[in-house]
Amino acid sequence: MKLKRVSAIARKELLHVLRDWRSLGIGIAIPVVMLFLFGYALTLDVDQVPLVVWDQSATPASRELVGAFRSSRYFFLLEGAGGYPELERAIASRRAVIALVVPVDFAGRVASGRGASVQAILDGSDSNVASFALGYAEAVTRGYSERVTLELLRRSGLPAPVPGLEVRPRVWFNADMESRNYIFPGLIAIVMMVIAALLTSLTFAREWEGGTMEQLIATPVTGGELILGKLVPYFAIGMLDLVLSVLVAQFVFQIPLRGELWLVFAASAVFLVGALSIGILISIITKSQFLSSQIALVATMLPAFLLSGFVFPIENMPYPIQVFTHIVTARYFVVLLRGIYLKGLGLGTLAGEALLLALFAACVLGLSLFKFRKKIE
């Protein structure tokens, strides 16, 4: 392999990218758009849940309960309702996710210590949001109940009960419990995977469709030199995308980086070689730009988005799907980035994932070299 030939192929491919604004847009503009779009739109936090209340009691005790919901950052109190039909319309129209019904005898039962109950009606069409809303409502009512109990004991001259068990939580790695801090490192992996495969999936197919592959075959350039030369400019574009991603994470979304920056770039470089090689392999096999781009999109975006643990926990998937996720290289890269970003882990802990990334890149690149033949079929 001669570096002069590799650099010539790389220069030719780079000039093509610079002259083709569409390829340049795919390589640089689309990743930035995806980062901002997913960074702002994709969140697992459930707060400011729309709440509507039918207060049949209309007493200071019921207003105190409603005030506890209003002061919680997890609920957004809408206007009050005057009956079940209004509650039904609010939930059916998605203006409210949860409705609270306070009974007429609420204040009397609370004052007498007999215990009172309130009805919570939830929109179960989105089970995830409904589960969170129910948990938040139970927490608010539990806090209200504890305050009422302490007040009744105080009025009776009895001492406050000593809690038998007290939980003192301490959150590590993501102290603010912001889902964005967890999602964004995985988003970098998804963006790099999709863009890298899409870019290189057009390389060899473009040569075949443009009629220039015959000229390349007639030159002394070997298959390895041709593949490496075509990888180099797209590798540079991929690393530029990584730099933009790191900058956006740091200065726009304030994602904390607790680990080493060089480790982020080293792991990304290995992952990028594998992602670029997937596109090269698809392009070599199909020899069609349209078909290559479609296969690359299906083979990279869907597995990376659904099966890498980026959004959906792998542990919650059916066992056969969990087994299948082991061949999705983005799975290991997501673990690497989250470990570096959130926990400050090094290669001592993440060596297994890094080794699998390197093995995958070597296998796919080797398969591309094996499938490419310098002959016209």
| Same-domain check for residues 85 and 234 | no
User: Which ranges of the chain does DSSP label H, i.e. alpha helix?
Assistant: 3-19, 21-24, 30-41, 60-71, 84-92, 106-112, 127-156, 179-200, 203-210, 213-218, 223-251, 261-286, 289-307, 319-324, 329-343, 347-371
- What tens digit of pLDDT does each residue of 43-59 get? 777 788 999 999 998 88
Residues 54 and 39 in one domain: no
Report yes or no on 288 lying in a domain.
yes
Tell whether 227 is covered by a domain: yes
- Do both 183 and 323 map to the same domain? yes
* Residue 329 shares a structural domain with residue 361: yes
For tokens 């296969």, the residue is 295
Residue 188 in domain? yes
- Provide the residue range defining the domain that includes 132: 49-156
228/340 same-domain check:
yes
What's the confidence (pLDDT) of residue 125?
87
Highest averaged pLDDT of the listed ranges 12-16, 26-30, 57-61, 211-215: 57-61
Can you give the CATH number for the domain in which 117 is found? 3.40.1710.10
222 Cβ contact partners less than 8 Å away, ≥ 6 residues apart: 1, 5, 374
pLDDT digits (tens, 9 = 90+) for 176-235: 778 888 888 888 888 888 888 878 887 888 777 777 777 777 777 787 888 888 888 889
Confidence band of 98 (pLDDT split at 50, 70, 90): very high
Confidence (pLDDT) at 83: 87
Evaluate whether residue 162 is within a structural domain: no
The reply to whether 246 and 312 lie within a common domain is yes
Q: Are residues 129 and 207 in the same domain?
A: no
- Residues 250-295: pLDDT tens digits? 898 888 889 899 999 999 999 999 999 998 888 888 888 888 888 8
Higher pLDDT, 19 or 139: 139
Does some domain include residue 166? no
C-alpha span between 324 and 302 (Å, rounded)? 13
In a domain, 229, yes or no: yes
For residue 168, being part of any structural domain is answered with no
Residue whose C-alpha is closest to residue 118's, from 48, 55, 197:
55
Q: Which residue has the higher pLDDT, 14 or 119?
A: 119
Which residues touch 307 (CB under 8 Å, ≥6 apart)? Answer: 314, 317, 321, 324, 325, 328, 330, 331
pTM above 0.85, yes or no: no
pLDDT of residue 359: 94
User: Domain tally for the chain?
Assistant: 2
- How much is the mean pLDDT over the chain? 85
CB 101 within 8 A of CB 87: yes
Asked if 66 and 92 sit in the same domain, the reply is yes
Looking at residue 295, its pLDDT comes to: 87
Q: What is the pLDDT of residue 297?
A: 82
Q: Residue 115, Cβ neighbours under 10 Å: how many?
A: 9
**By C-alpha distance, which of 196, 188, 206, 280 is closest to 26?**
196
Q: Percent of the chain having pLDDT more than 70?
A: 97
Q: Is the pLDDT of residue 162 over 80?
A: no
Do 205 and 184 fall into the same domain? yes
Within this chain, do residues 243 and 132 fall inside the same structural domain, yes or no? no
Q: Does residue 133 sit in the same domain as residue 185?
A: no
Q: Is residue 317 part of a domain?
A: yes
